[in-house]
Amino acid sequence: MKPVKTGVTFAVTVMLFYALCALVWFVLPEPFMRFMSQLFHGLDFHRLQAEPATLGGTIYADVILGIWAFLAAMFFSWLSDAFGSKKEA
């Protein structure tokens, strides 16, 4: 695996999925909250809505997730290569 390519690919994937999730939440907030509550066995996600979300805050979170995903995937790629680099005789 190539660490940088793996990192970029995973970061873009995470950022796109986060943006899609945020878009659904902005367009359909109540059905989205009901879905999340069902998905997490009845946990009430309404309590997390202390203040309205902003576009800037959403973009900031998306960038932070992208950076985290990039670093995590680079580490995963490096670790995968480290474990698989020894050839058996």
The pLDDT of residue 89:
45
Of 87 and 75, more confident = 75
What is the rounded average pLDDT of the residues 13-26? 94
What is the rounded average pLDDT of the residues 5-25? 96
Tens digits of residue pLDDT in 31-85? 988 898 889 988 887 777 767 788 999 999 999 999 999 999 999 999 999 998 6
pLDDT-derived band at 30, boundaries 50, 70, 90: confident
Of 37 and 5, more confident = 5
Instruction: Give residues with Cβ within 8 angstroms of 72, minimum separation 6.
Output: 10
3-state secondary structure at position 42: coil
Q: Model's pTM, two decimal places?
A: 0.79
